[in-house]
């Protein structure tokens, strides 16, 4: 039967062995860092572990896996230029200028260009259910949006008040253009369909006041409408180029 002194000595040896294993793990990661630094010359990779040391996770003993909270790459002057980390639950690769300002971020949603304060200036990646490119200080309402939507590709331009002013897109394979005023009301619309080309002009109340059509089978026509939507005048050229003028009086 083991005596009390033997048990105490065994416990001391066990604790000493555990401490030696931990020091060996730290030395192993230090050696890896030296090899990396020597292989890449001035580029030094800093490994920042949880708690300021090597993770106590049993998986960290696997020399084929490296565990870290952040990986930082510096230039030959020791300035941070690249960082790999998880921020707000989102993993990303960050690029920095020589002054240390964040300039770009690559994440699971795409590539973002950043200003000196880390604010998004442009985004290329997933947008809603599609993908596209957005430019501007407000990701939710960019100045320029080029996107692939469920209806087709589209380009949208917005003003300084986040109001969309111009939109060009393909709807069911047919091109459409709309121009809007500062209040968001459509003032001009143009489209090309299988039937021909169409142009519509609207007033400040978004009421259609003029239509111009160049049909493939019906000739060309210009129609004018009053505020109530009634057609008041039209001029037409048939397929035989015979003009026809109609004026509707009160």
Question: What would the pLDDT profile of 184-223 be if each residue is shown by its tens digit?
Answer: 999 999 999 888 999 999 999 989 999 999 987 778 999 9
State residue 65's pLDDT score.
79
pTM of the complete model beyond 0.85: no
Query: Who contacts 133 (Cβ-Cβ below 8 Å, separation ≥6)?
Result: 122, 123, 124, 144, 145, 146, 147
Per-residue pLDDT of the chain (250 residues; tens, 9 = 90+): 445 565 666 566 656 656 655 555 554 444 444 434 444 333 334 444 444 444 444 444 456 777 888 999 999 999 999 999 998 888 999 999 999 899 999 988 899 898 877 788 888 888 777 788 999 877 677 899 999 877 789 999 999 888 999 999 998 889 999 999 999 999 999 999 888 999 999 999 989 999 999 987 778 999 999 999 899 999 988 777 788 888 887 7
| CB burial readout 173-185, b (16+ within 10 A) else e | eeebebbbeeeee
- Please report where in the chains the tokens 């990661």 appear, as a residue: 29
- Give the residue from 207, 248, 210, 246 showing the smallest Cα distance to 228: 207
- Give the residue from 197, 193, 228 showing the smallest Cα distance to 211: 197
How big is the chain, counted in residues?
A: 250
User: What's the distance, CA 161 to chain centroid?
Assistant: 21
And the tokens for 212? Answer: 């111009």
Domain annotation for the chain: domains and CATH numbers: 151-250 (3.90.930.1)
Taking the C-alpha atoms of residue 38 and residue 96, their distance in angstroms, rounded to an integer, is 23
Q: Is 30 left (phi over 0), alpha (psi -120 to 50) or beta?
A: alpha
- What would you report as the CA-atom Rg of the chain, rounded to the nearest whole angstrom? 34
Taking the C-alpha atoms of residue 189 and residue 117, their distance in angstroms, rounded to an integer, is 40
Could you tell me how many helices (H) and strands (E) the chain has, helices first? 1, 18
**Residue 168 in contact with residue 153, Cβ under 8 Å?**
no
And the tokens for 119? Answer: 């604010």
And the tokens for 54? Answer: 């090597």
């Amino acid at each position: 039967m083991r005596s009390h002194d033997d048990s105490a000595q065994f416990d001391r040896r066990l604790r000493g062995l555990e401490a030696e294993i931990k020091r060996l793990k730290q030395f192993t990661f230090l050696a890896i860092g030296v090899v990396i630094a020597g292989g890449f010359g001035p580029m030094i990779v800093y490994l920042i572990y949880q708690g300021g040391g090597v993770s106590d996770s049993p998986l960290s003993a696997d020399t084929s896996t490296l565990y870290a909270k952040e990986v930082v790459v510096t230039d030959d002057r020791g300035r941070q230029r690249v960082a790999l980390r998880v921020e707000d639950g989102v993993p990303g690769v960050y690029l920095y200028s020589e002054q240390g300002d964040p300039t770009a971020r690559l994440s699971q949603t795409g590539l973002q260009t950043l200003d000196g304060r880390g604010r998004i200036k442009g985004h290329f990646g997933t947008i809603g259910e599609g993908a596209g490119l957005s430019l501007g200080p407000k990701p939710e309402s960019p100045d320029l949006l080029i996107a692939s939507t469920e209806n087709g590709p589209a380009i949208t331009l917005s003003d300084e008040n986040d109001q969309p002013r111009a939109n060009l897109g393909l709807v069911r394979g047919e091109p459409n253009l709309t121009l809007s005023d500062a209040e968001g009301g459509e003032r001009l619309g143009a489209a090309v369909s299988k039937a021909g080309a169409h142009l519509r002009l609207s007033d400040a109340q978004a009421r259609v006041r003029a239509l111009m059509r160049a049909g493939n089978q019906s000739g060309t026509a210009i129609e004018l409408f009053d505020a109530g939507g009634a057609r008041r005048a039209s001029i037409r050229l048939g397929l035989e180029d015979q003009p026809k003028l109609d004026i509707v009086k009160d």
